[in-house]
Structure 1
Amino acid sequence: MAEAPADARTEDRAGAAGAVQPPAVRVQGLWKRFGEQVAVAGIDLELPAGQFVGLVGPNGAGKTTTLSMVTGLLRPDSGRVEIDGHDVWQDPVAVKSRIGVLPEGLRLFERLSGRELLAYTGRLRGLPGEEVDRRAAQLLDVLDLAGSQHKLVVDYSTGMRKKIGLASALLHNPRVLFLDEPFEGVDPVSAQTIRGVLERYTASGATVVFSSHVMELVESLCDWVAVMAAGRIRARGTLAEVRGDAPSLQAAFLELVGAHAGASGQDLEWLGGAR
């Protein structure tokens, strides 16, 4: 059966909820500078709950810095962030119990096996041992890691690392899941497995916020999108709203971020020529 369009998925989820939900994430006046470089320039955002939300932009747009501040990993110069109604910096314990994070450049305890890593993560989260074991077994099975659960994480492939990192982020059943380039460097089989788990997760009413610069992936997954460039939000809304009259999200994105074709190559007459 063909997959429903993203706009239809948004309507279905909104209808299932029966009412407009408060935003999963509220960002107000967020700034971050590194020396003279402005990474994030006073952005305001409200990310809808119960949806697949994409934060997209070219490399260097400020996506990773924004997600790091939103999740409490990096303190902003100014601004306020609320997740599920709780201030990230004033009520960090409540916020961290409600979020899962899979950051870019994921670092794991490599001398643990996959199963040991999940057991350790679950106990850090305060889950009962039996419940940790039950959830870990289910996640390992769904993510196709059961056969490698006793293998050390240091020996995992890139795709396996992404999947065990996702399992760790989901173990405590967070209300909002933040993912920074979750499919980068992942083989198609692992990517499809991760995608299936995330779609199941959002179908239950939870929220996924992920950053990416791959527009085809965003267009196939997301219900709602914010486009970021040079530390600012250039557009936000449903896929249809952001896409507008453009033939694709990719075309709309290129126009929004001010991309241009650049030189035609006349200055590279030596490239590919006779040697």
Structure 2
Amino acid sequence: MDSGVPALALRGLWKKFGDTIAVHGISLDVPRGSFYGVVGPNGAGKTTTLSMATGLLRPDAGTVAVHGRDLWSEPDAVKRTLGVLPDGVRLFDRLTGAQLITYAGLLRGMDRDVVAQRTDDLLAALDLTDAAGRLVVDYSAGMTKKVALATALVHAPELLVLDEPFEAVDPVSAANIRDILTAYVRTGGTVIVSSHVMDLVQRMCDHVAVVAAGHVLAAGTVDEVRAGDSLEDRFVELVGGRQSTEGLAWLRTS
């Protein structure tokens, strides 16, 4: 595989829902072996873009290439290389945690013994071993997020696309997940993660794209995008919309 070919290349992606244009011709290159953050306010088009990038949603126009292969021309082959944690996780929650991860692996055509070992490994790494036999419907929001991440990892994909993977996850689990993802990137994998937490993205990612109103406002290495400021300050500068608090003069305790 040509190391110069991006892990993900988006070209002119558009998506419209009714009269609302959610994504306005987004183009983006995600380098192989990068830890790539996608940040933006609510309604920016992040989830729609990532859904199109992973084949969960067909774009109205534009192309998606994963490691140089067109997603919509070769959907089965390309999707085998992807691990996806979508927004608003919907799982077969009447399975136990162990059953759900096993099911995800078997759906990928993996050997049952390999799936069994990887399931045990993932449950341990994500601190879910004690909950392995519980139904996922009874999991907390953070546990549900972690078991969904495990289903995205079980087949050792080449590219991970994770929409808000740290949402509702406790700090210890978040640190464990960061370690898992960092090690994955260090061994040649590529991670794309969307997040609202600027400090987390600044510390964890080496590349970032700022998305707002369906457009890419800035993209590049984290240092290039933040341009000497904190990523949060640069984000606010790019996105705008910061409100004055003068109208809340009455909100005082003394």
Q: Give the drift of 1:21.
A: 3.0
- Which runs of at least 4 in structure 1 moved beyond 6 Å after TM superposition? none
Aligned to 1:263: 244
Change (3 A) 1:20 1:85: closer
Aligned counterparts, 1:159-198, within 5 A: 159-198=142-181
The CA distance in 1 between the partners of 2:146 and 2:235, in whole Å, is 29
Aligned to 1:249: 231
Aligned to 2:13: 30
Could you state the TM-score of these two structures normalised by the residue count of structure 1?
0.88
Percent identity (aligned): 55
The CA distance in 2 between the partners of 1:146 and 1:186, in whole Å, is 16
Aligned to 2:104: 121
Residues 137-191 of structure 1, C-alpha deviations (whole Å, 9 max, x = no match): 1111111111111111111111211111111000011000011111111111221
Q: Give the drift of 1:258.
A: 2.1
Q: Give the drift of 1:240.
A: 0.9
Residues 123-144 of structure 1, C-alpha deviations (whole Å, 9 max, x = no match): 1000011111111111111111
Aligned to 1:44: 27
User: What is the DSSP-based 3-state SS (H/G/I as helix, E as strand, rest coil) of the residue aligned with 1:29?
Assistant: strand
The CA distance in 1 between the partners of 2:93 and 2:189, in whole Å, is 29
Structure 2 gap segments, 5+ residues each: none
- Give the residue type in structure 1 aligned to 2:139: Y
CA-based RMSD: 1.5
Structure 1 gap segments, 5+ residues each: 1-18
Could you state the TM-score of these two structures normalised by the residue count of structure 2?
0.95
Q: Give the drift of 1:269.
A: 4.9
2:38 paired with 1:55 = yes
The CA distance in 1 between the partners of 2:223 and 2:186, in whole Å, is 20
Q: Give the drift of 1:245.
A: 2.8
Which of the numbers 103, 106, 118 marks the counterpart of 2:86?
103
Which of the numbers 224, 230, 255 marks the counterpart of 2:213?
230
Aligned counterparts, 1:54-93, within 5 A: 54-93=37-76
Whether contact under 8 Å (1:236, 1:242) holds in the other structure is yes
Greater alpha carbon shift after TM alignment, 60-69 vs 249-258: 249-258
Report how many aligned residue pairs link the two structures: 253
Q: Give the drift of 1:263.
A: 2.6
